[in-house]
Structure 1
Amino acid sequence: MKGRWRIPLSRPSITDSERTAVMKVLEGTVLSGGAATTRFEQLASDRLGRPTVLCSSGTAGLFLALRAVGVTAGEVLTPALGFIATAHAIRLAGATPRFVDVDPDTLCVTAETMEAAWTPEVSAILPVDLFGTPVPRAVFDLARDRGVPAIEDACEAFGSSIDGIPCGALGDVGVFGFYPNKTITLGEGGLVACGDETIARRVRSIANQGRTGPAMDFDGDGFNFRISELQAALGVAQIERLDHLIAARTAVARLYRDALAPIAGVSPLADVPPRSFRSWFAQVVILDEAALREPLREHLASRRIETGLYFPPVHRFSPYDTSPTAPGGLPVTDDLAGRTVALPFHAELTADEIDEVTDALAQVLHPHLEGERQR
């Protein structure tokens, strides 16, 4: 038996282009800080319209972004619905996350939910483009009006945009992650998209032990958040295929939408608002009944179909269960907490595999229809 899962939750798209690029680095002598790193940053900057700096992960990128804009204390407004790394980065930078509720359709924060949570202690905001859905521009306008920096967690949104502006370029700083389940991958890696060259220099310095010039010229604290040339070379081959990968994942999302349409009791993510484009990170569905989530996951697992929990709310984990929230709590986040489940999703998922996944889902939600859905 090859692997536990016949249909895995995610799978990177790796071709001969990626293999050739990595082997070319191995045949040389420069394994860090070379031409591949420079090339990836240039390609990313061309897409985003701002300076970029590669780093070791999206989490590292969030920390670098916070430090580069001067966040070392106070409260940072951020959603609880999302991956815990965002809160970790805030705390590591020296600040405190204050959790904000989300819109029930987009699952992203809004200017209204941000404003409801605002306190005099807010030193920055850190909205998340959850599952690739762009955060409304009004959120960033609010930060500008209040005079605090906006760091955009676009780790799941490489290729997304709103009003023609790429996600990652909406705030003072934007951050991307390139874990293997993302639209493109470096194996591990992150990217900080900086609003100006001053921020970019700060990010680059902190990520490289505080260096500002020659090898032994330091003027501040820093860490090693660099990536290798092997990762960067893989990334160059991936970013050169980005448009193809986005199109393929969009096609998979459409197949899922069609397959889920006749199944009552489950809903795909809502369409993004007009003038927005979602670069799909995951196929997350919302169940009508939370009690059916574990039976559903168990049934799919029995058929060797992998599912995931994207994401348990951060304020329910012990490191953050006493963290401040908006007055009145997080009713939308809490309602969604037990009803979301991630289905298999990647660029190479086939129509037959999608049918098998949704058939299995229907067998749990509507067991009396099982015979009718047999193909």
Structure 2
Amino acid sequence: MKKSLVSVFSLTLLAVFGANARADILIGVAGPITGPNAAFGAQFQKGAERAAADINAAGGVLGQQISIRIGDDVSDPKQGISVANKFVSDGVKFVVGHFNSGVSIPASEVYAENGILEITPASTNPQYTERGLWNTFRTCGRDDQQGKVAGDYIAANFKGAKIAIVHDKSPYGQGLVDVAKNVLNQKGIKAVIYEGINVGDKDFSALIAKLKQADVSLIYFGGLHTEAGLIMRQSADQGLKATLFSGDGMVSNELSSIAGDAVIGTLNTFAPDPRKNPAAKDVVEKFRKSGFEPEAYTLYSYAAVQIIAAGISKAGSPDDAQKVANSIKTGESLSTVIGDIRFNSKGDVTRPDYIIYEWKKGEDGKPTYFEK
């Protein structure tokens, strides 16, 4: 009799703990939580956590709650692989991340081999979705889209300018400028300088001297706000009067903290401000009440969690990420805070999504980016 009671009790415990083990849907959030690009990591984390909280408050997904796991890749490909392997060992099936294309691309291979779906809010290099992997999605656009927008804008608005093309040698930075360069070349416009810098460089005096000697009036830059801000500030200090034009790696107000007033007049491409989308109104208010401004990729991260949740619901289970991936590659419209999204068979959004921004001082006297 005792044996029987113990057995029943043990089975009951197993059932309870087994149910609890399945209670949470684990979503990893991977990006530069620390390091020079931590502002973007914060956007990823805040966006995903807010989305999870809102979905959980509404009853979760198929009766299960979402639990967020954070992975800090410090914008480093090797660390990104470590984060990916940690997510694998933790049983994560879905990842929002990474930020840098140079991290997302190698990490996605680890995820593909281990049955993990990845949605990046920010990695724009075309190769991320061009390799035929089943698991790669993005809520942002691609560099072959924003590079063309930039090239067309430069050709139309900087006629006769002496153009320098500078990049940080990363898949994102060099990939972006090469698209714009090709667009300009097709229009008969040649850059007077094509130069690479290193991520983490602090002193750009030699580069600026070269730009001054060539009488450059426009710098098209491929890279992130950390190096761009230093180039702007040092250019102003050394008397180089040139407009800097770049991509979506500029969309952090930290840029003005680095560049100071030299940021005024800077141009960049990015999507139409998602904070202005009517679908985001309530979410934006929640962020602002909490003291966090949901700029740049915050809502793209929020949308990534929404898409994962919608895919799980359509698939009927969170257990098979490949089935979830197939369920959101159908071309069916998915409602998100950044608007309705459809994915093609590669995992790219089907709408072109880039406009031009200019950095100016706002009503509070602080520089930020405004749609032109």
TM-score normalised per structure 2: 0.31
The structure carrying a bigger strand percent of its residues is 2
When Rg is computed on C-alpha atoms for both structures, the one with the higher figure is: 2
The structure carrying a bigger helix percent of its residues is 2
Which of 1 and 2 has higher RCO (CA within 8 Å, sep 6+)?
Answer: 1
